Chains A and B, each alone.
Chain A
Amino acid sequence: MQVQTETNMPSKENQNQKTLSDLYKKKRQFIFVTLTPIMVLFMIFFVIPIVWGLLLSLYQYNPLNANSPFVGLENFKELLRDDVFKKTFWNTFKFIIIAVPGNIFLTLFIAIGISKIRSRFFQDTFRTLYFLPCIAPLAASAVVWSTLFNSDRGLFNMILTNLGFSGIDWLTDPTMAMYSVIIMTLWADMGFNIVIFIAGLNAIPEMFYEAADLDGAGKWDRFRNITVPLLSRTTLFITIMTSLSYFQMFPQFQVLTNGEPQNETRVLALSIYDHAFKYFNMGYASAIATVLFLIILIITIIQLRVGKSNWEY
């Protein structure tokens, strides 16, 4: 045995080196084989479209036309002259400013309420019921809600007339339409945030409340001095994520009102789709998309800044 090992020594070292470089080669090969398809797909469907999309905003591009001249910032200048765009821009912010705080306020209180329910069974049942709308396609929910909102035969006006009130033109009254869309959006989307808030509430260590009880703190004190500060990180996260997703909301606007009446419910996401795929003004649509991109970029930067500050507890 001994002899055999001794005699084998030089060749084994050689072999070791060989296997090392073999291993290196195998590793390189593995990286190349796995990463290439991933990065190719990623380039074709993410990186190139982003760059292309931003560049497209500088062209007057219509796929049906033979030539598409470079127009510089002309599309953006046109945006500033376009009254419908200005209205669309403010509509989007109106939607965000009402729907996001409305969502946070409602979901926080529902989450606190559910977490206070003592029976495990009812807690789970309530959570499921509030979450149920989130699993349905938004477009399908919007179809159901368009019948609920129907002025003649919809459920809401049926209830109002039975109570002796006159019906409301939920989707055709210019002052009402945006609020109707917001109501539907909240119904469809609250469940996510309720679940995240409940998880955030459960993560607050029980000892803080016990300590507060020992100090004789009231219910309101406990809420203000323990729940609110310790939930602030969850709340920030939810606010940012909800805003980002609400800026891009599309199906319910298209299905319920399609931007009408009098452009009162036209938002950026709907406008981009219409300009690109209804009128085929893809350059102009890309300019609007660039505006949306900048808004989202600013929110993301704010999130990264605030998220870095000290949150330890």
Chain B
Amino acid sequence: MKGKVDVPYIILFFFISVGAIIMFIPYLWMVLSSLKSNLEIISPSSGLFPKSISFDGYKTVIQEAPFMRWLLNSTITSAAITLVTLFTSAIGGYVFAKYRFRGQKIYFVLLLATMMVPFQVVMIPSYLIIAKMGLINNLLAIIIPNLVSGFGIFLAKQFIESIPNDLIEAARIDGAGEFRTFWSMILPQLTPALSALGIFTFMAAWNDYLWPLIVLNDTNKMTVPLALVFFNGQHSVNYNVVMSAGVLIMIPVVIVFLIFQRQFIKGMALTGMK
């Protein structure tokens, strides 16, 4: 085998590479288009590469749009949702795994059953409830309905069930309160499950489009995906502007992904979720 040219392997490598390049082309297009000038972008003879590099698009984004505000809105809502969801999932999972109480089974089945209900069924009454609370155009409208996750509680329960009861009893005998026991005994052992859940919760919150579209319409309150679509509606001709906004939005996401990639992929295998 050695030294011989492995033709099928080369063909395989070639096709996988071509596929990977095709997957990357929209990003390349986005970056290159963002560097075209306002004038060049509307000329039909413009090619893939900009004739001269221009930062017109970026200037427009920074000057005309509350870009930092959008990033901040997304960061605040996604971080709040993720932190609280991790906490409610862990503590809810702990109570369902290690305590016995009346109605336990019914509550748990209820939590699981709602996981499969499509968001389109829930969104209309949720909108009416949020409107009654007077939270339309308020970032709290994004945060509050997303603080509890049926899947998160389920995942934490599965993990906690494998922790021996003796450990919990030992902590109690040492005089630790119920919350202390949870915080110092259970939580540290949940790290792999919670880091996976955290990554996915954050990403789902960051990327969510439909719910923000329903409850936010003030430009200053928008989260990033909603803002980009809104911006696209205003600058559909000069799409170098929209592409610049796209690049600015994607850069932090890609960097974060490349840093956490390993945990990310592991988490997907661990939880089988997306």
Contacts and interface: CB of A to CB of B under 8 A. Distances in A.
A140 B111 contact: no
A89 interface: no
A286 B228 CA distance: 28
Contact of A49 (B30, B122, B213, B232): B122
Interface in A25-47: 26-31, 34-35, 37-39, 41-42, 44-47
Given A27-B99, A146-B232, A129 B125 contact: no
Classify chain B's interface size. 35 or more
A54 B95 contact: no
B175 to A, nearest CB: 10
Contact of B33 (A110, A147, A286, A293): A147
A30 B268 contact: no
B229 interface: yes
B49 to A, nearest CB: 11
B209 A137 contact: yes
B177 A26 contact: yes
B213 to A, nearest CB: 8
B83 interface: no
Contacts, number: 237
Interface stretch (B55-63, B143-151, B157-165, B186-194): B143-151
Given A136-B250, A153-B46, A289 B178 contact: no
Nearest to B126: A49
Given A137-B225, A144-B26, A251-B210, A52 B125 contact: yes
A289 B118 contact: yes
Contact of A292 (B121, B242, B258): B121
A72 interface: no
Contacts of A170: none
A297 B20 CA distance: 36
A250 B213 CA distance: 11
A220 to B, nearest CB: 12
A293 B99 contact: no
B125 A135 contact: no
Contact of A46 (B12, B114, B120, B272): B114
Interface in A195-248: 195-196, 199, 237, 241, 244-245, 247-248
Interface residues of A, number: 92
B209 to A, nearest CB: 4
B24 A49 contact: no
Interface in A108-155: 110, 113-114, 116-118, 122, 125-148, 150, 152-153, 155
A126 B23 CA distance: 10
B87 to A, nearest CB: 10
A192 B274 contact: yes
Interface string B213-234: 1100000000011101100100
Given A52-B125, A153-B42, A195-B265, 4 more contacts: A42-B148, A143-B229, A153-B46, A276-B123
Interface of A: 23, 26-31, 34-35, 37-39, 41-42, 44-50, 52-54, 56, 63, 110, 113-114, 116-118, 122, 125-148, 150, 152-153, 155, 158, 187, 192, 195-196, 199, 237, 241, 244-245, 247-248, 250-251, 255, 268-269, 272-273, 276-277, 282, 285-286, 289-290, 292-293, 296-297, 300
Interface of B: 9, 12-13, 15-17, 19-20, 23-27, 29-30, 33, 41-42, 44, 46-48, 88, 91-92, 95, 99, 101, 107, 110-111, 114, 116-129, 131, 144-145, 147-148, 150, 153, 172, 177-179, 203, 206-210, 213-214, 224-226, 228-229, 232, 239, 242-243, 246, 249-250, 253-254, 257-258, 261, 265, 268-269, 272, 274
27 contacts: A28-B101, A29-B178, A35-B92, A42-B110, A47-B114, A50-B114, A110-B16, A117-B13, A129-B20, A132-B23, A132-B254, A134-B274, A137-B207, A137-B209, A137-B224, A143-B232, A144-B243, A147-B239, A147-B242, A187-B26, A196-B272, A251-B210, A251-B229, A276-B124, A277-B127, A282-B124, A300-B116
